[in-house]
Structure 1
Amino acid sequence: MSLTITACGTDTLSQGFYDQRPAWDDCGDGFECAKLRVPLDYRHPRGEELAISVIRLPATGDRLGSIVINPGGPGGSGIDYGRAARSVLSPQVRDRFDVVAFDPRGVGESAPVECLSDKGLDAFLALDATPDSPAELAALEEGSRRFADGCQAMSPRLLPHIGTANAARDMDVLRAALGDERLTYLGKSYGTYLGAMYADLFPTRVRALVLDGAVDPALNRVELNEGQAEGFSVAFKAYAEHCFAIPDCPLTSRTVDGAVAELTSLLRRTDEEPLRGDGRSVTEALATLGALTPLYDRRTWPVLTEALRQASTGEGELLLHSADQLVGRARDGTYSNQTEANMAVNCVDSPYPGKLSAFATAAKAAERRAPGFGAYVMWGSLPCAFWPVPAAEPNRPLAARGAPPILVVGTTRDPATPYGWARAMAAQLESGVLLTLDGDGHTAYLNGSSCVDGTVDAYLVWGRIPRDGMRCPEIE
């Protein structure tokens, strides 16, 4: 795909962008699609512009306005998420709001960042991301440099302008184009950071924000990687406890620490002898991805059980399939640009260590905190050490001073965004209100808790603000 950039002419920011009205076209199954014009560089709004892809499902009842949704990532397609609107939001919310989603700049159908060919992504994702020899470290460094250089070669004009702050500015242009005076928003995972950034930049333009599976805005990238690795470790231990209670559990130790040791040993063995999987070698990196993917949703724990059983016989097809799902690889070997966009946004959003020695030190610390996951999660960010454009700014708390109450939702054993991050975000936001689900899996809304669902719906539709610190019980 090519970058969609055209000249803005002499339009001012307000007249050229905030005054636009999308030309909605029918795009099937009750949805409408349109393009939104935004500046490539908000510091120079009269320069080049981007076309942002937007999708809408009109309200079914007495319309209050629009609700914008984001699935996270960064790099997750908002267009795909929007097409799932009927399962993303309750009928009560869809009755009152047009559901609107968009691919953020650099993602999917919105000037997608490009870095590597499909075969290049195959090679990068299969690299040993827990290097324990000079040769493995050299290969990981070379592959990471190739990734960063590829982004610069294929997306040079876009790369400096990807990032959460600019995506939040785009979202304000979208709010205005929809005709809403204030934004109603549901963001999950990374989408919570996007929502908090929006509130910090435009606090008086907030109506209601639900930030589910929150990211701590104040943490630097090393701290975020360490925390996420530990989140996967907590989730795996919860899975192990569940596994012990079923008759065909492939974990033989029957203790949590023993289960962690079994998984770590399995992953390390694939470093020496990859598993077999549909004609591809399931390396340690791919096996690790495949093991952590089912932890995102308790309903996919049986997939992990079967994958571990397969792996004990040298078969890795199910682990490979799970890994492919997480990185956006289709059965035919083609990729979405999710992996490239994820790396590009993360590298630009905040600084990373610039030396291999710093990564190595951080990886060792993370592995001590989260055996089996820590080193992999840390080394996976190595392309950012060689990123061709500087990071926007150091991470900082986001207070959103002057915004109305913002609902932050955290799950106690969330694998990808640890519960402590939700507590931290709610505390940083001047008007943050924390809602807790005692449970498993990544994010809480519409994942089985009537307590969470009812509280979120009442906040979005009627503006009912729950008690700060409200706790919903574990799902039976």
Structure 2
Amino acid sequence: MRLSRTLRSTGGMLAAAALLVTGCSSDDGDEERQPSHPPSATAPPAAALKRYYEQKLSWHACGPADFECATLKAPLDYRHPDPDEDLSLAVSRKKATGPGRRVGSLLVNPGGPGGSAIGYLHDYAGIGYPAAVRARYDVVALDPRGVAGSEPVKCLTDRQMDAYTQIDQTPDDAAEIRGLVDAYRKFAAGCARHSGRILGHVSTVESARDMDVLRAALGEPNLHYVGASYGTFLGATYADLYPERVGRLVLDGALDPSLSTERVNRDQTAGFQTAFTAFAKDCAKHRDCPLGTGGPDAAADRLSRFFTHLDQHPVPTDDPHRALGESLATTGVIAAMYDESAWAQLRLALHSAMDGDGAPLLQLADLYYERENGRYANLMFANPAINCLDMPPAFHTTSDVRKALPAFRKASPAFGEGMAWASLNCAYWPVPATGSAHQLHAKGAAPILVVGTTRDPATPYPWAKALAAQLDSGTLLTYEGDGHTAYGRGSDCIDTAINTYLLEGTPPSAAKHCS
């Protein structure tokens, strides 16, 4: 289960774990969206950015065998470039292996926001992408600003994060609501204290601009790109800013950037309910199913009752400081919804938790949070930093959440309440949002391939249909199946269509469906 590819939570913690708050700026005079003199196919970059576009990368061996790494310089603030404030962004590549004519550089991003693209390259894309693709492309990764190797956002200590992930996210009374709000405030204050310099400059628009600087530094006239999950929003933003620079773009597990934050979060809540229904149907086929054989509704009710029990009576794990309460248990269940190959593991973990051993379900939650040996990666810090800058908060007050609770519970009886409260996180963010919901058109771009999975829990299929329709040159490729994203997950039909597009530049027909 490659959780590094997944979409993550707007809260740094919560079991609503897969909530997304992304978007792009509007056309209502927001100067953050439009690049100041973006380079075009015929015009040089603005004088203030020339030093960045003309930089030469110094490569050195790194990571697994045959990988190289370098550092890319980018301005902290594209509106006011200052060499004394430059960011150092981590880049890595696996050069084309041949044979065959090299197509160019293929930039990859696994999503998040906050997932390490370099980690994804070293662990999967650079060795697991189809051999024919790796033969003809240098596969390249850039950790976005604020992420992993690129001046990572920091917010809390590991011990503080352990406490944060256990906060009750389905408050039952005023005291528990105050506790949740206080946790959000302390998280945001920690981010401001430790990462104040960069916190206002980790937007998706700025990361897309960094991608164009990298394109130039690589000596490429066009950007070829595969983005998964949030990476589709990053890629589509790039295409909208620099349509004349678009090469072959694959946007897998697509977002709809035109939706409000509340709508995105509610849609995703329904998406996880759809995924849970599929899991429950599969679970009922097995003797060891801990949710019974009474159908998806009965299974959802059984799970909800179990969560309620854990709210008052956490079960022990192999960590004496972290019992399995409702929040961590919900995160563990949601983590397994991303990939149907994890369903067997979830069955066993739920069975164990209901028998009084919470360790296996806690392991799933730790995979989601990228917690290893007591240490957290920066994903759960970068995630809200990017999300809360990209879009206004879904809710501004606790009263807003209470009003929305019925709609979220309708979307998912099992997950809705926690996801609604998790949507409050950005209300307390120390930096105001610079973006808002807005369609992306990329007028004049080469054909862009948008991929959607019909029962994707994190990026519901209608989002892919919407993005493909918004993009002037968008083509939709559909995977009839379960799980988050489609490329490299076992469908020969999907992989062949995407490989053909990457190698030959020919997208499939818009009506193509795979299973």
If the TM-score is normalised by the length of the shorter chain, which range does it land in? over 0.9
Is residue 292 of structure 2 the alignment partner of residue 252 of structure 1?
Answer: yes
Deviations 1:288-315 (A, max 9, x none): 0001111111111101110111121122
Q: Does the 8 Å contact 1:264/1:371 carry over to 2? A: yes
Q: Does the 8 Å contact 1:70/1:186 carry over to 2? A: yes
User: Aligned match of 2:486 in 444, 454, 467?
Assistant: 444
* In structure 2, C-alpha distance between the alignment counterparts of 1:357 and 1:88, rounded to whole Å: 47
Give the % identical residues: 48
* In structure 2, C-alpha distance between the alignment counterparts of 1:363 and 1:180, rounded to whole Å: 49
Structure 1 pair 87–380 and aligned structure 2 pair: CA distance change class (3 A):
farther
Query: Which runs of structure 2 are paired with 1:350-429 in the superposition (5 Å)?
Result: 350-352=391-393, 353-429=395-471
SS of residue in 1 equivalent to 2:139? strand
- Which has the higher relative contact order, 1 or 2, with Cα contacts under 8 A spaced 6 or more apart? 2
Deviations 1:99-142 (A, max 9, x none): 00111000001011111111111111111111121111110000
* In structure 2, C-alpha distance between the alignment counterparts of 1:469 and 1:158, rounded to whole Å: 43
Q: Does the 8 Å contact 2:266/2:408 carry over to 1? A: yes
* In structure 2, C-alpha distance between the alignment counterparts of 1:420 and 1:55, rounded to whole Å: 34
SS of residue in 2 equivalent to 1:55? strand
Amino acid at match of 1:349: D
1:6 corresponds in structure 2 to none
2:346 corresponds in structure 1 to 304
Q: Does the 8 Å contact 1:12/1:46 carry over to 2? A: no
Amino acid at match of 2:233: Y
SS of residue in 1 equivalent to 2:371? coil
SS of residue in 2 equivalent to 1:276? coil
1:340 corresponds in structure 2 to 381
Q: Does the 8 Å contact 1:343/1:381 carry over to 2? A: no
Amino acid at match of 2:183: G
Larger CA deviation: 24-33 vs 364-373: 364-373
1:150 corresponds in structure 2 to 190
- Residue 13 of structure 1 and its aligned partner are, at CA, apart by 3.7
* In structure 2, C-alpha distance between the alignment counterparts of 1:326 and 1:129, rounded to whole Å: 17
Q: Does the 8 Å contact 2:397/2:424 carry over to 1? A: no
Q: Does the 8 Å contact 1:35/1:51 carry over to 2? A: yes
Is residue 79 of structure 2 the alignment partner of residue 46 of structure 1?
Answer: no
* In structure 1, C-alpha distance between the alignment counterparts of 2:406 and 2:385, rounded to whole Å: 25
- Residue 375 of structure 1 and its aligned partner are, at CA, apart by 2.0
* In structure 2, C-alpha distance between the alignment counterparts of 1:419 and 1:31, rounded to whole Å: 35
- Residue 12 of structure 1 and its aligned partner are, at CA, apart by 4.3
Number of aligned pairs? 462
Query: Which runs of structure 2 are paired with 1:171-182 in the superposition (5 Å)?
Result: 171-182=211-222
* In structure 2, C-alpha distance between the alignment counterparts of 1:323 and 1:138, rounded to whole Å: 25
* In structure 2, C-alpha distance between the alignment counterparts of 1:54 and 1:268, rounded to whole Å: 45
2:104 corresponds in structure 1 to 65
RMSD of aligned alpha carbons: 1.3
- Residue 245 of structure 1 and its aligned partner are, at CA, apart by 1.4
Amino acid at match of 2:60: D
* In structure 2, C-alpha distance between the alignment counterparts of 1:42 and 1:200, rounded to whole Å: 17
1:23 corresponds in structure 2 to 58
- Residue 406 of structure 1 and its aligned partner are, at CA, apart by 0.6
Is residue 510 of structure 2 the alignment partner of residue 468 of structure 1?
Answer: yes
Q: Does the 8 Å contact 1:209/1:406 carry over to 2? A: yes
Unaligned runs of 5+ in 1: 1-10
* In structure 2, C-alpha distance between the alignment counterparts of 1:158 and 1:349, rounded to whole Å: 14
SS of residue in 2 equivalent to 1:155? helix
Larger CA deviation: 338-347 vs 241-250: 241-250
Structure 1 pair 238–187 and aligned structure 2 pair: CA distance change class (3 A):
same
2:272 corresponds in structure 1 to 232
* In structure 2, C-alpha distance between the alignment counterparts of 1:180 and 1:31, rounded to whole Å: 19
Is residue 71 of structure 2 the alignment partner of residue 35 of structure 1?
Answer: yes
Structure 1 pair 237–243 and aligned structure 2 pair: CA distance change class (3 A):
same
Q: Does the 8 Å contact 1:57/1:99 carry over to 2? A: yes
Structure 1 pair 22–195 and aligned structure 2 pair: CA distance change class (3 A):
same
Is residue 105 of structure 2 the alignment partner of residue 76 of structure 1?
Answer: no
Larger CA deviation: 58-67 vs 85-94: 85-94
* In structure 1, C-alpha distance between the alignment counterparts of 2:216 and 2:48, rounded to whole Å: 12
